Amino acid sequence: MSRAEAYLRAGEQWLLADEPAVAAERFEQAMADGGETFADPRAPLARALFALGRPDEAHVLISELDRESDAGHRDPRTCDLVAELLAEQGDMDGALHWATAGADECKRRGDTAELRLLLSLRYRIRHDLGMPEDDYDQLLDELTTDTRKSQHLRSAKPAGGTGDN
């Protein structure tokens, strides 16, 4: 684990402990370190800034992330974090934008695990907005059906066996 990743994870724990100021410091340390992290530290930093009553600064970070995403630097996990955050803040259109962007990147990469999470989030957001079903919802249905089929096959006992082998 990189030092930046450790700072990021520590910041998440401080957020859980309802200490957004300390969390923000850890996220800033992760950014300054510049090492590998599971998501861009600016996404959880934006969450901490909202918690600190500094929404303008949070929106600046989200705008930076969006500009970089448009330039081809899109991370699905970061998209998921930003979409969740914006949904919590009541910005459902912004949340939909981020969930869709993340799903598109997952499709491009062939990342079905993160894709399923983003499509589920996207479905909830669209449902809250009262939007009709679309192709992404159908893709979620297909992924869910495929997952159920593979789980059923793994749990089936071998033919002629007792299952105790």
> pLDDT, tens digit, for every residue of 40-59?
999 999 999 999 999 999 99
Percent of the chain with pLDDT over 70: 86
Residue 54's φ and ψ, nearest 5 degrees, are -120, 60
Average pLDDT over residues 23-38: 96
The answer to whether the CB of 56 falls within 8 A of the CB of 37 is no
CA distance 117 to 99: 9
Residue 91 burial by Cβ neighbours in a 10 Å radius (0-12, 13-18, 19+): middle
Instruction: Mean pLDDT check: name the lowest of 91-95, 143-147, 153-157.
Output: 153-157
7 in Cβ contact with 39 (< 8 Å)? no
Question: What's residue 41's pLDDT?
Answer: 97
What's the whole-model pTM score?
0.84
Residue 154 has pLDDT above 60, yes or no: no
